[in-house]
């Protein structure tokens, strides 16, 4: 008959600190692939950055064109208000009176007799263009129109192309 041998534990450390357990997990294939390596994460970040750059390069010109369209719409509203002013008073605001004559009764001659309480635009100020610059009012216009309202575009300077191009009421007529 065989006698059972009692083995004495050689290590009284808990399982979490066992060297045998950590050795197995360090070389076990499924334990090594539990997360992503730094190189894999950097590659994914680089790909996402490249895609974002391509998208922004394609969208950025459209943002400027949206501002151009907004300027055209505002100029049409200002032009309509100036035309309404002319129908009520027999003339357009003078260049000295400017677009302010559409929101406040002018102080410079010729002062209209029957100026409406709320003016000709909603709000008590003339809105700036989409680039936060004031609109330019010319009476007469540069090509002998009765008047011209224009925005100098994103750069705020005469001329330009793309988002920097001038937007004029003469172009809409």
Cβ(153)–Cβ(166) below 8 Å: yes
Does residue 26 sit within a domain? Answer: no
Decide: helix, strand or coil at residue 167.
strand
Does residue 16 sit within a domain? Answer: no
- The CATH number of whichever domain residue 122 belongs to comes to 3.30.700.10
Nearest residue to 122 via CA among 172, 76, 81:
81
Does residue 17 sit within a domain? Answer: no
Q: Residue 62 has what pLDDT?
A: 67
Nearest residue to 131 via CA among 58, 74, 59:
74
Does residue 52 sit within a domain? Answer: no
Q: Residue 9 has what pLDDT?
A: 54
Angle, vertex CA 91, rays to CA 89 and CA 92, nearest 5: 110
Q: Which domain holds residue 105?
A: 65-172
Distance CA 117, CA 168 (A): 29
Q: What is the count of structural domains for the chain?
A: 1
Task: Convert the pLDDT of each residue in 130-151 to its tens digit.
Answer: 989 999 999 888 888 899 999 9
Does residue 31 sit within a domain? Answer: no
Does residue 92 sit within a domain? Answer: yes
Angle, vertex CA 158, rays to CA 156 and CA 164, nearest 5: 55
Does residue 101 sit within a domain? Answer: yes
Task: Convert the pLDDT of each residue in 98-127 to its tens digit.
Answer: 999 999 988 888 888 888 888 888 878 899
Does residue 158 sit within a domain? Answer: yes
Cβ(24)–Cβ(30) below 8 Å: no
Task: Convert the pLDDT of each residue in 42-74 to its tens digit.
Answer: 999 999 988 888 888 877 766 666 788 888 999
CA distances from 155 to 20, 97, 144 (A): 71, 26, 26
């Amino acid at each position: 008959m065989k006698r059972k041998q009692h083995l004495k534990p050689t290590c009284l450390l808990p399982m979490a600190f066992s060297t045998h357990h950590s050795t197995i997990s360090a070389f076990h294939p499924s334990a090594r692939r539990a997360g992503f390596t730094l190189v894999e994460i950097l590659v994914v970040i680089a790909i996402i950055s490249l895609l974002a750059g391509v998208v922004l390069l394609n969208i950025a010109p459209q943002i400027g064109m949206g501002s151009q369209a907004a300027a055209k719409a505002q100029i049409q509203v200002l032009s309509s208000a100036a035309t309404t002013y002319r129908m009520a008073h027999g003339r357009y605001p003078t260049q000295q009176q400017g677009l302010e004559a559409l929101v406040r009764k002018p102080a410079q001659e010729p002062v209209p007799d029957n100026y409406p309480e709320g003016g000709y635009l909603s709000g008590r100020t003339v809105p700036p263009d989409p680039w936060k610059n004031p609109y330019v009012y010319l009476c007469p216009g540069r090509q002998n129109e009765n008047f011209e309202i224009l925005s100098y575009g994103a750069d705020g300077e005469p001329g330009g192309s793309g988002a920097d191009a001038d937007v004029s009421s003469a172009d809409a007529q």
